[in-house]
Structure 1
Amino acid sequence: MKTDYILAISGSDILSGGGMQADLATFNRHQLFGFVALTSIATVTDDGFEVNDLERPLFQSQLQSLKEIPFAAIKIGLLPNPDLAEVSLAFIKNYQDIPIVLDPVLIFKENQDGTIGEMAETLLSFLPYVSLITPNLREAEILSGETITNLKDMRRAAERLHRLGADKLVIKGGARLDKHQAIDLFYDGSEAVYLKKSLLHRNNNGAGCTFAASIASAMAKGQTALEAVKAAKIDVYRAIHNSNQYGVKQNDH
């Protein structure tokens, strides 16, 4: 039975630009009913931004509470440690008949502690079980082992990730490859499509969360992966255009 229920497995952004706050705002804009299984709670201290992981039993209990709900799609965001990732992977294996979009958030790990290699290995184990992944350039480099300095390198990294098990993926280029355009690459093993939008010099906090949530929302409503990615590219451009000091902002236009 097709429903309008969609799940975000993600962390909370205390400033509400990204995380589950961005996921729920995106789901709502797509007229979907959003559920959340929270993985972490962020706080802002005198020392900066801190991510506080939930304990495994509590996280596991959240997913157990949702096991009977007939979701139309699942979006996975911040998995703060391999332990919670393992629980998430076991959960999504029961939902192989619906779209599952993974935003493999790794950069905060690279900045905060030494578990980046372990998390990358853990996230690679998700690839056979998700419909599409949305790494940014640095995350694509970490996961694929490829260095990306141009569009040819981006294509090589996409091909490598596909060989590692990613059915479909979109690598987000951001501002690193072109100072005038944000160039993303969609790849499904045969078709490679470059998606371009002019760069906006505004606050883009939460753009990655919004992008993945928008893709999951569109796929929940029956769009193909490429259609969903193209629509999400436009959604994110608008969200960045409307951003405030805390991050991207949804609108209805």
Structure 2
Amino acid sequence: MKNELVLAISGNDIYSGGGLYADLITYAAHGQHGFVAVTCLTAMTEQGFEVFATDTEVFRHQLNSLVHVPFSAVKIGLLPNVEIAGLTLDFIQQHATIPVILDPVLVCKETHDVEVTALREELFKLFPYATILTPNLAEAQLLTQKEIKTLKDMEIAAKELHRLGAKAVVIKGGTRFSESEAIDLFYDGQNLELLRQPLLEGNNTGAGCTFASAIASLIVNGESVSKAVAGAKEFVYRSIQKSDKYGVIQYEK
């Protein structure tokens, strides 16, 4: 079987639960070979959890090094500034025929120091190239500039993000709407679907990054976008279920 090549444009997570680490382990779990263009480094400092953007020219050279690799899909994660986002857009425009999974990491759980306002406009430019957009509730609110308090609000936000250019959208509702379930909402312009899984005790598994990467992997493996989303939600559930407090996952062989 051909070993498909999948790219992650994402940052590192110093605790290794999310970011490029989650991307690479997810690709490997689906039988693919992952490449990474690193957008940033992170660390816990006296000021808290901080994001340090990759030097713009270094990031440019990373992407130029990969421009001729025959990727089957690209997953985009944390873009720490406008310059990195612009270079990512240039790269994606050169790969406009392959699936692009855009996880708009505008708000790190630990901090709000990513420049949200400036990045929104750059992210909107990526929307027309996105096979699917995968924001969490906070990111969906920032992108649409609308508060999401109910499932109906989430539906309205998904339709707005689709209108802005993304071919499909899945908003990760997390624990907002239920004490016993994690509820997400998928919309592709025609189909609207709620996806549910029982809540599990949290650990260091980067659920959002893993979810987006699993969607990329399943699309590469031939699944439709809607089936890839459902399969990715199941994959994240099993990953959390089978991992320890550090996010170390014991995958079935």
TM class by shorter chain equals: over 0.9
- Which secondary structure does the structure 2 equivalent of 1:108 belong to? coil
Report deviation, 1:48: 2.5
1:146-205 deviations in Å (ceiling 9; x for gaps) = 211111111100111111111101000100111111111110011001100011122254
CA contact (8 A) 1:29 1:252 kept: no
CA contact (8 A) 2:141 2:147 kept: yes
- Which residue number corresponds to residue 124 of structure 1? 124
CA contact (8 A) 1:240 1:248 kept: no
CA contact (8 A) 1:109 1:116 kept: no
- Counterparts of 1:14-29 in structure 2, within 5 Å, are 14-29=14-29
Q: TM-score, normalized by length of structure 1?
A: 0.94
- Which residue number corresponds to residue 153 of structure 1? 153
| More divergent stretch after superposition (195-204 vs 97-106) | 195-204
CA contact (8 A) 2:27 2:34 kept: yes
Structure 1: stretches of 5+ with no match in the other structure: none
Partner Cα separation in structure 2 for residue 205 and residue 25 of structure 1? 11
- Which residue number corresponds to residue 57 of structure 1? 57
- Which residue number corresponds to residue 106 of structure 2? 106
- Which residue number corresponds to residue 91 of structure 2? 91
Partner Cα separation in structure 1 for residue 116 and residue 125 of structure 2? 15
Against the structure 1 CA distance between its residues 60 and 250, is the aligned structure 2 distance closer, same or farther, given a 3 Å change threshold? farther
Report deviation, 1:114: 7.0
- Which secondary structure does the structure 2 equivalent of 1:135 belong to? coil
Report deviation, 1:109: 9.1
- Which secondary structure does the structure 2 equivalent of 1:95 belong to? coil
- Which residue number corresponds to residue 72 of structure 2? 72
Against the structure 1 CA distance between its residues 250 and 172, is the aligned structure 2 distance closer, same or farther, given a 3 Å change threshold? farther
CA contact (8 A) 1:10 1:20 kept: yes
Report deviation, 1:84: 0.1
| More divergent stretch after superposition (18-27 vs 109-118) | 109-118
Query: Size of the alignment, in residue pairs?
Result: 252
Partner Cα separation in structure 2 for residue 248 and residue 207 of structure 1? 13
- Which residue number corresponds to residue 230 of structure 1? 230
- Which residue number corresponds to residue 8 of structure 2? 8
Calculate percent identity across the aligned residue pairs: 49
| More divergent stretch after superposition (195-204 vs 160-169) | 195-204
Q: TM-score, normalized by length of structure 2?
A: 0.94
Against the structure 1 CA distance between its residues 240 and 109, is the aligned structure 2 distance closer, same or farther, given a 3 Å change threshold? closer
RMSD over equivalenced CA pairs, Å: 1.7
Partner Cα separation in structure 2 for residue 69 and residue 114 of structure 1? 30
| More divergent stretch after superposition (101-110 vs 52-61) | 101-110
Against the structure 1 CA distance between its residues 93 and 214, is the aligned structure 2 distance closer, same or farther, given a 3 Å change threshold? same
Report deviation, 1:214: 0.2
| More divergent stretch after superposition (174-183 vs 243-252) | 243-252
Partner Cα separation in structure 2 for residue 49 and residue 248 of structure 1? 21
Partner Cα separation in structure 2 for residue 232 and residue 133 of structure 1? 14
CA contact (8 A) 1:40 1:52 kept: yes
1:200-223 deviations in Å (ceiling 9; x for gaps) = 122254100000000001111221
